[in-house]
Amino acid sequence: MKTIIIGAGVAGLSVGWKLAQAGLDVLVLERAQPARAATWAAAGMIAPTAESAHANADETQFARWSAELWPEFAAQIEAQSGRQIGYRRDGALIVAATQDAAEQLRAQSTKTLLTADEARAREPLLGGNIVGALWDSEEAQVDNRALGIALASAFVRAGGKISSNEAAVRIEVRDDRLVVQTPFALYPADKVLIAAGAWSGEIEMDVAVLPTARPVKGEMLALIPPQGTLPPKQVVWGNGVYLVPREGRLLIGATMEDTGFDTALTDKAEAWLTDRAVGLMPSLTSWKIDEHWAGLRPGSPDNLPILGETRIKNLFVATGQFRNGILFAPAIAETVSRLILGSAAPEIRGFAPQRFAEVS
Ligand code: GLY
């Protein structure tokens, strides 16, 4: 059975890897380079607790399940690619600057709420203007840039093929088969998965299967510490940003802007991220900016994932991960590969593409 996946990000590659392992003939068409868009720009957090403030019940349940799948998913990717992806369950501190925020955290989670002194004992770089912090020892992270390379390698080792710099521009139904058109070729396929992140809605079709795309820009910084200073041991959230220790650097994220497909780096975002991070950890003022980058989150009209078969038979979609593309990868791989294989898949009806009136 010939399957075409549009998009070589973490979702497309994860599903493709599962399908290739199941013996399917899988080709991934990638408009640019594999895992170089949102997968590369992300912070790599596997943070169902910290992100639950933005989530509804379906999404929280999906996030928790995906976080549980992550250790085995990571081990399999490493074993099959021969590459390390830096999965670490080091926990996260979610800092509250006011009593109200602390109460909100207490309501959001059953995890331990630390006093300000206890939080600073765990993370000495924290400043004085906090009232407490939620400590979740199960929050994790992965090196998302290493993950993208390893996933592509595991997929190819499992027999999958990737065609880079080849954008899908149109999908048609011809004689009960799907045909994907690129600038270079027509590819007939039995099944097609659109997993093109923020670009998923850009493919021309005779009927709409996806709502209008909503790219949500995020700018990030990486700081390097002065000689002799160690970065924090765990992820820290607070003051509107998150700080992620990675390979001797500290990543600071992220802005959220609806500015279309714009990925320009701005002084305004650099200043905002720096101010917020220094507000949380005053000594960061002496750390140097090592990198500044931007990516586009795949948003959806209701900020929930869009997963499943579309109104066109055998045409599937996996997009709308919004802030959680890395976190959701194992659960998307599991559910969407099972749907494509025609085997029983866990319930994801709340994420069906048909929930949007414009495509039902
Ligand atoms: N997951 C964090 C972000 O999207 O900024």
DSSP 221-232: EEEEPPTTPPPP
How far, in Å, is the centroid of ligand 1 from the Cα of 44? 8
Name the E strands within 285-344: 288-299, 306-309, 315-319
The Å distance, Cα 107 to ligand 1 centre, comes to 22
What is the C-alpha to C-alpha distance for residues 342 and 5, in angstroms, rounded to an integer? 16
May I ask the CATH architecture of the domain 92-139+214-297? 2-Layer Sandwich (3.30)
The residue whose CB lies within 8 Å of the most ligand 1 atoms, and thus the one to mutate among 221, 293, 324, is 324
Domain ranges of the chain: 2-84+143-212+301-355, 92-139+214-297
Place of tokens 């250790």: 71
Distance 30 CA to ligand 1 centre (A): 23
User: Rounded to the nearest whole angstrom, what is the distance from the C-alpha of residue 242 to the centroid of ligand 1?
Assistant: 9
Q: Can you give the pLDDT at residue 107?
A: 85
Provide the pLDDT for residue 347: 77
Rounded to the nearest angstrom, the distance between the alpha carbon of 45 and the centre of ligand 1 is 8
| Residues with a CB atom less than 6 Å from ligand 1 | 43, 45, 218, 253-254, 297, 323
pLDDT in tens, 188-215: 999 999 999 999 999 999 999 998 878 9
Q: Which one of 242, 252, 326 would you pick to mutate in the ligand 1 pocket, going by the greatest count of ligand atoms within 8 A of its CB?
A: 242
Determine the pLDDT at residue 295. 98
CA of 179 to the centre of ligand 1 (A): 34
Residue ranges of the chain with pLDDT lower than 70? none
Using one digit for the tens of pLDDT, what is the confidence trace for 261-302?
A: 999 999 999 999 999 999 999 999 999 999 999 999 999 999
Nearest ligand 1 atom to alpha carbon 253:
5
For residue 324, which atom of ligand 1 is closest to its CA? 1
Gap between the Cα atoms of 120 and 100, Å rounded: 19
Can you name the residues that pair with 3 across neighbouring β-strands?
Answer: 26, 191
Domain topology for 2-84+143-212+301-355: FAD/NAD(P)-binding domain (3.50.50)
Q: Residue of the nearest CA to atom 5 in ligand 1?
A: 254
Q: Fold identical between 2-84+143-212+301-355 and 92-139+214-297?
A: no
Helices vs strands, H then E, count in the chain: 8, 19
How many Å apart are CA 224 and CA 26, to the nearest integer?
Answer: 41
Looking from the CA of residue 323, the nearest atom of ligand 1 is 4
pLDDT of residue 248: 95
Cα angle 115-120-124, degrees, rounded to a multiple of 5: 175
pLDDT at res. 106: 87
Note the helical H segments in the chain: 10-21, 38-41, 57-81, 99-108, 116-122, 144-157, 267-280, 325-341
Ligand 1: residue whose CA is nearest its atom 4: 323
